[in-house]
Structure 1
C-alpha cells in the first residue's frame, strides 16, 4: 500500500517539530546537552499530543552520534533505524496487549544485557496504565535500580491508574492539549507543502473538531481530502465532522429566545434532513451557549478561541439574551445530551428540547407575578367573605339557643340542642381546597344502603390487578385512590387529592376502562362513585344520622368497620385497651386486631 496517512507521514522527527509542547521539548533538549538524563520518564497526556513521538525523538537524540543542541540528525544509521523501527536496542512495547507478569519479567531479564549498536538501550512502554498489578510489581525494582545503559520511557493517557510507587521513580512530563491555533498552523504548513488549495474556514472547523489532538486533526483532514477529491472546502469539512454551521445555530437560538417554536422546530428538521448528527448538534449548542456567556464577559477570549471567526448574528444574539436564560438552557441541553445516549430516536428528544427551551423564559415568570398577586388578593377577599358568613351563622345559632333556653327546651333536650348546632356548621363547613369538589350524595347513599364488608374486600383484593390493566396516564391518576365502600352494584372510591377527584369524575374513558377491567376480573360491572378522601368521614357520619332519623337499620360496611358501629365502638375500644396488658397493646399495634387472639391462662 503506497499511500500513508498524513499523521504517519508528518510525524515529528525532531523536538522542534513537536507542536504545542515547548516546555517539555526544551527541558529534554537541555537534559541531553548537559548529560543530565534520568533513568526513567513518564509522558502523560491526552491522545494525539505527541507522547510517543517525543519518546522516539528522545531515543534518537541520546543515541545519535551527530546530535546537535539536543536534536538528532535523522541522517545517521542509528537515527534511520529508530525511525524505521528496526534498531534492536530501542524496544517498543504495547502494554495493552503485553500486560502480564511474564512479559515484564522478560523485559527485566533482557535489560541486563548491554546494547549492541546504540549507546543506550531504550524501552518505550505505551499505554503503561494497562499493566496488571503483578506486572507493575515486577517492573518496580528495575525502575528503582536499572542498569546504567538502560532508559525507560513510559507513555499513558490515564496517569491516575499508575501506582504511586511507579510515579515516584520517574520524571513525569504532562503533555497538554494542543491549541486550535497551533493545529491550524500545522495543517496550513502541510497543505502548503503538498500544494493543495484550502479554505481557511474549513481548517478552523477541523482544528476545533480535533479537540486538542494533532493526530485527530490530521486524520480528519485526510477524510476531508478524500471526500472532496483533494479539495478542502468549508462545506466538506462540515459534512465530515458532522458540525453545524454557525448561521444555523444562531438562527435556531434566535428563534428559541424569541419563543418562535414553529421556526425552531423547522430548524431542527432541516438539520436532521441534511444528515447532521443529533448528538453533535446538542454538543455544538452547548459550546455556542458557552461562547455567548464568555463573550458577554470577555469578547477577546471568544475571538481567540474561535480563531477570529465571529459573525454579526452571534454578536446580536449575545446582546439580547439574558445570562440566566443561557444558564438554564445549558442545564437542559446537558440533561438531553445524557438521555440521548440511550435512545434510538434522538429526533424526539430534540423536538421536546426545542419546545422546552422556547417556552422557558424569566420574563414569563415575571409577567406571572402580578397575576399571582391578583389571584392571591382575590382568594383573600373570598376568605374574608367566608369568615363573615360563618360569624353571622354562629350569631344566629346562638340566638336560637338562647330562645330555646328561655322556653325551657334546653333543660329537657340539652344534649341534642348542643350537638345539633355543632353538627350543622360541620356539615356546611367549606374547605378552600374543595371549593369546586362537588359530591353527588344521591349516588353514594344507594351504594351504602347495600354495602357489605365482603364486597369491599373483593374489590380491594383485585384493585392492584385492575389498575395494572390501565394505560400509564390513567394508572398514574388512580394510584392515589382506594375503594372505601362497596356493594354488588356500586363502589365508592376516595381520592387523596381533590383536583384528581375532579379530573377522574369527568373522565368517561377512565370509568369505561375501570368497568371493562372489573367485568373481565369479577364478571360483573358495578357503578363507580368518586369522592375526595377528606370528605369521606363527613359523608359517612351524615349517612348514619340520616338513617337513624328515618328509623332505618344501618347496613353499610366501609373500609375499616361498619358505619353504624364505628362511632359506638370507640368508647368501648378505649376502655378495653385501658384494661389490656402492655404486651397485648404492643402486639395489637404491630400486627392489628384482626389476627390477634388473646387467651387467658
Structure 2
C-alpha cells in the first residue's frame, strides 16, 4: 500500500501506548484482571485523545486467548484478527453516517446471535452523539440488557448531546487533553522508531499547537517531515503550525516595554508579510503575556506555560515588566481580539492595539519619579478628605459627594448598543420573535446542562422582546444583570450556539435594561411615525381580544401586560 500517515502506523495497540490517559487505562486493566467487565462503556473527550484506540484495545483484551490479561498479547489469532479487521465479531460503526433508526434496529436484531470467532461480540459506535432521537430510543432497551456475549463501547466528543437515559446505562470514562510533555514523549518515540531527525524545540512547538490532541500532533509532524530537508528544525515547525517565532514575540514585547511604536509596527508588518494570520498573531501575543505572568508568579509550573520557551530574552523581559503592566496588556489585547471578530480590517485593529500598548507603559511605569510624586500627592489629599468626613462637615459639603457618587455609576454602567437595537427593530418580525420564545425554555435547559447554571440564572428575569432574521433584543429587569451577561463573551457565544442548534439560525444577542428598552422603543416608533399598538415588526398585529376590550371599556381603563 502507499504511504500511511504516522497516526495510522503508530496507532496504540496496547494500553501502555495510550498516552496521557492513565486514569482510564488503569481502571480498565483492573476490571479485565478481575473479570468485572461491564456490558456498556461511554468514552468521551476531545478529538485525538485515544478514545477509539482504547475501545479496540479493550475489545482485543476481552477476546484474547490468554484472557484474563491486563494487556492484549497481540500475537494470538483473535488479537491479530481484531487488529487487521478480519474478525466480524468486532464491529466499528460510524454514527455520523449511520444515524438512522433502521441501522440501529439492524444492530438490535443481530445482537442475539452468538459470536463466530471470539468469546464476545463488541460494537464500537464512534461519534455516537450524531444518532437521531429515534435511533437512541431504538438502542435504549438493547443497551440496558444486552445478551451476555455482547459489549457496547460508545465514543463521543460531545457527551452533552447524548440522552441521560443512555449515559446512565454506561460506565463513563472521560478522556482528558494530553499534556505537551506526554505528546513530546510519544513523538520522540515515534521519530526514533521511524528514523526521523529533529530538533527538540521543534517538537515543543508542534506539541503546543496540537492543543492536547495526539492525532493532531502526529498530523503536524507528518507535514513537518514533508516540509523539512533532513532534520525537522524550529523554523519548519513554526511554518507548518502557523505559529510566530519566539524571537519576534520577544522583540514585540521589548518594543512595547520601551515605548518604541515604530519597531512594534515594523515587526507586525514583517509577520503579516510572511503570511501569518492576524487572528493567530493576537492569540499568540495574549498567550505570550499570559505565560510571562505565570512565569513571574509561579516559575515552577513549567507545564502550565503554553506558548513560550523560557530563554534569556524572555527571562530579562519578565524581570522588567510588572504584573500591573501585563494585566493592562492582556486587557487591551483581549478587547482587540473581540473587536476583530466583527471586522474585515483586522490589521488596523492590531496596529491600534500595538500603539495603545506602547503608550500605556508611559502611564503605568513605576520607575517614573514624577508619576510617583503625583500619586503620593493624590493619596495625601484622599487622606485629608477622609479625615474631614470623619470629623463632620457642613450640609452643603455633604451633598456634593452624593452627586459625585452618581456620575461614576452612570459612566461605568452598561452602555446600550442603541444603533444595533434600531437595526434589529427595522428588520424585526413576529415570526422570528415567536421562534426564539418557543425554544427559549429548551435553550435555558441546555445552558444548565453545559454547567453554566450561575450564568443562566441571569436570564431568570430576562426575555426576548424583538427579533430580526439574525439577531434579537434581550430585555433584562435589572441593569447589573444585563451588564454581567453581555460582558461575558463565552456566555453570549453559548446562547448563540444553542439557538443555532434548536432553531437552525445563529441569532446574535443584544442586551438592554428594561427602563432603557421602553425609551428606545418609544424613540424608534416616534422616529418611524409608528404607534406602539401598530408595531407589528416587533410584537405582531394587535390581539383581537384586546381590540374588542378597547371598544367595550376604553384604553384609559385598561392595563395590558405581556
Q: TM-score range by the shorter chain?
A: 0.5 to 0.7
Partner of 1:287: 287
Separation in 2, partners of 1:160, 1:226: 38
Alpha-carbon distance, 1:184 to partner: 0.7
Partner of 1:105: 105
Alpha-carbon distance, 1:309 to partner: 3.7
Separation in 1, partners of 2:262, 2:253: 13
Counterpart contact for 2:64–2:73, Cα < 8 Å:
yes
**Residues 191 and 242 of structure 1, relative CA distance in 2, 3 Å threshold:** same
Structure 1: 5+ residue stretches without partners: 378-585, 588-601
Partner of 1:218: 218
Separation in 1, partners of 2:308, 2:342: 36
Partner of 1:413: none
Counterpart contact for 2:288–2:308, Cα < 8 Å:
no
Larger mean CA deviation between 97-106 and 117-126 belongs to 97-106
Partner of 2:83: 83
Separation in 1, partners of 2:230, 2:84: 28
Counterpart contact for 1:256–1:264, Cα < 8 Å:
yes
Larger mean CA deviation between 170-179 and 344-353 belongs to 344-353
Partner of 1:206: 206
> Which secondary structure does the structure 1 equivalent of 2:198 belong to?
coil
Counterpart contact for 2:294–2:305, Cα < 8 Å:
no
Partner of 1:327: 327
Counterpart contact for 1:180–1:305, Cα < 8 Å:
no
Separation in 2, partners of 1:175, 1:221: 23
Q: How does 1:308-327 map to 2 (within 5 A)?
A: 309-327=309-327
Counterpart contact for 1:43–1:172, Cα < 8 Å:
yes
Alpha-carbon distance, 1:230 to partner: 4.7
Partner of 2:340: 340
Counterpart contact for 2:340–2:349, Cα < 8 Å:
yes
Separation in 2, partners of 1:261, 1:29: 59
Separation in 2, partners of 1:302, 1:264: 28
Separation in 1, partners of 2:179, 2:300: 16
> Which secondary structure does the structure 2 equivalent of 1:37 belong to?
coil
Indicate yes or no: 2:358 matched with 1:358: yes
Between Structure 1 and Structure 2, whose CA radius of gyration is higher?
1
> Which secondary structure does the structure 2 equivalent of 1:360 belong to?
helix
Alpha-carbon distance, 1:265 to partner: 0.5
Counterpart contact for 1:303–1:309, Cα < 8 Å:
no
Structure 1 residues 116-149: Cα deviation after superposition (integer angstroms, max 9, x where no partner): 1111111101111111112111111111111111
> Which secondary structure does the structure 1 equivalent of 2:32 belong to?
helix
Structure 1 residues 50-106: Cα deviation after superposition (integer angstroms, max 9, x where no partner): 000000000111011134632111122222221122321111111111112221111
Separation in 2, partners of 1:112, 1:229: 56
Structure 1 residues 484-540: Cα deviation after superposition (integer angstroms, max 9, x where no partner): xxxxxxxxxxxxxxxxxxxxxxxxxxxxxxxxxxxxxxxxxxxxxxxxxxxxxxxxx
Alpha-carbon distance, 1:247 to partner: 1.8
Alpha-carbon distance, 1:306 to partner: 6.1
Partner of 2:52: 52
Separation in 2, partners of 1:307, 1:74: 39
Alpha-carbon distance, 1:313 to partner: 1.4
Q: Number of residue pairs matched?
A: 377
Separation in 2, partners of 1:152, 1:35: 16
Counterpart contact for 2:208–2:307, Cα < 8 Å:
no
| Aligned-CA RMSD value | 2.6
Structure 1 residues 302-323: Cα deviation after superposition (integer angstroms, max 9, x where no partner): 3774699411211121222222
Indicate yes or no: 2:146 matched with 1:146: yes
Counterpart contact for 1:14–1:72, Cα < 8 Å:
yes
Structure 1 residues 317-349: Cα deviation after superposition (integer angstroms, max 9, x where no partner): 122222222222222222322333444433222
Separation in 1, partners of 2:372, 2:21: 55
Counterpart contact for 1:52–1:126, Cα < 8 Å:
yes
Partner of 2:10: 10
Indicate yes or no: 2:25 matched with 1:25: yes
Separation in 1, partners of 2:19, 2:312: 33
> Which secondary structure does the structure 2 equivalent of 1:300 belong to?
coil
Structure 2: 5+ residue stretches without partners: 382-554, 557-562
**Residues 170 and 83 of structure 1, relative CA distance in 2, 3 Å threshold:** same
Larger mean CA deviation between 48-57 and 359-368 belongs to 359-368
Alpha-carbon distance, 1:263 to partner: 0.9
Partner of 1:243: 243
Separation in 2, partners of 1:170, 1:281: 43
Partner of 1:70: 70
Counterpart contact for 2:183–2:214, Cα < 8 Å:
yes
Partner of 2:430: none
> Which secondary structure does the structure 2 equivalent of 1:99 belong to?
coil
**Residues 39 and 303 of structure 1, relative CA distance in 2, 3 Å threshold:** closer
Alignment TM-score, normalising by the size of structure 1: 0.59
**Residues 230 and 163 of structure 1, relative CA distance in 2, 3 Å threshold:** farther
Counterpart contact for 2:246–2:309, Cα < 8 Å:
no
Structure 1 residues 223-251: Cα deviation after superposition (integer angstroms, max 9, x where no partner): 00000145311111111111111121111
Structure 1 residues 152-181: Cα deviation after superposition (integer angstroms, max 9, x where no partner): 000011111111111111001111111111
Structure 1 residues 178-225: Cα deviation after superposition (integer angstroms, max 9, x where no partner): 111111111111111122211111111111111111101100000000
> Which secondary structure does the structure 2 equivalent of 1:177 belong to?
coil
> Which secondary structure does the structure 1 equivalent of 2:300 belong to?
helix
Separation in 1, partners of 2:153, 2:279: 38
Partner of 1:193: 193
Q: How does 1:541-560 map to 2 (within 5 A)?
A: none
Structure 1 residues 371-403: Cα deviation after superposition (integer angstroms, max 9, x where no partner): 9x99xx9xxxxxxxxxxxxxxxxxxxxxxxxxx
> Which secondary structure does the structure 1 equivalent of 2:41 belong to?
strand
Counterpart contact for 1:224–1:231, Cα < 8 Å:
no
Counterpart contact for 2:246–2:308, Cα < 8 Å:
no
Partner of 2:38: 38
**Residues 330 and 305 of structure 1, relative CA distance in 2, 3 Å threshold:** closer
Separation in 1, partners of 2:306, 2:353: 26
Q: How does 1:361-372 map to 2 (within 5 A)?
A: 361=361, 362-363=363-364, 367=371, 370=374
